[in-house]
Amino acid sequence: MHVHFLDPYRHSHSPIHQLDGRVKFVLAVAFILTCSLTPIAAWAVYILLFALILSVEILSTLGVGYVLKRASLALPFVLAALPVIFTTDGAALFTLPLGNWTLTASATGLEHFISIALKSWLSVQAAIVLAAATPFPELLQAMRSVKIPRLLVAMFGLTWRYLFVLVDEALRLIRARAARSGVSASNQKVKEGGGIIWRAHVAGGMAGNLFLRGFERSDRIYTAMLSRGYDGEVRLMPTHALNNGNKFILMTGIALLGTLLLFGILFWG
């Protein structure tokens, strides 16, 4: 079976893969909400949440390294919370002169920053496991099962489906550019194509070409969908009721996450 390099799903027969998609979706959302609502500097709860998601990663057979490596890609975005260190009142740790201003880092601000970083890191891990252990059609069914608006679910589904089409179109443009960019046989130090200005000009043309192709294709696709009776909702296979095993896992997971959140609020809230 051909797997597109953009598709995060990794086929396996692990217990996590065999869970109902609705259970995985609800528990992943509940885990992310628990991370978000856990009070600042509740280190014991963070450790327990990490142990929980680590156990799920091991059970999924995806590999802890696989998940952690992809979760690290989200860490640079945490730098947006860096000003919290200097804008939160508390005991001063150090000062940083910046022109006519002097920034003072506080211990409370550092706690806030580390807490935000840990919450984001844990939440991204849950999202990665969900995407890697659940086929996308099952995720769409799970969204409709929890009453997410059908238009939003349809937008998710169409965006995901035609993202691969646009990527393949972009790869064809890149191959076409490479085929038209030669290397001098007498001077191997000269790079393919021209200089930076030439490359910027070609990249701009490729981006415009890709936009026009995508716009024209989307118009043709929408016309074809209307001719086949499209009424704003993508039809999915009917869902069956959850069996007792999935219900037990769902209730146990929600109860465990609720207990961790309550523990954090009582002792650190």
Q: Under 8 Å CB-to-CB from 239, ≥6 apart: which residues?
A: 22, 141, 144, 145
pLDDT at 117: 94
pLDDT at 199: 77
Which tokens sit at 222?
Answer: 């929408």
Buried b (16+ CB within 10 A) or exposed e, 178-212: eeeeeeeeeeeeeeeeeeeeeeeebeeeeeeeeee
pLDDT at 189: 60
Strand 101-106 relative to strand 92-98, pairing: antiparallel
Cα gap 215→33, rounded to integer Å: 37
CA dihedral sign, ordered 227, 230, 231, 237: positive
Cα radius of gyration rounded to whole Å, the chain: 24
pLDDT at 155: 86
Residue matched to tokens 């509740």: 42
pLDDT at 116: 94
The DSSP secondary structure of 218-252, one letter per residue, reads: HHHHHHHHHHTT--S----PPPPPPPHHHHHHHHH
pLDDT at 2: 47
Residue ranges of the chain with pLDDT lower than 70? Answer: 1-5, 182-194, 234, 236
pLDDT at 3: 52
pLDDT at 1: 43
Cα gap 234→150, rounded to integer Å: 8
CB–CB of 173/206 below 8 Å?
Answer: yes
pLDDT at 238: 74
Pseudo-torsion of CA 24, 27, 28, 32, nearest 10°? 180
pLDDT at 209: 86
pLDDT digits (tens, 9 = 90+) for 14-45: 999 999 999 999 999 999 999 999 999 999 99
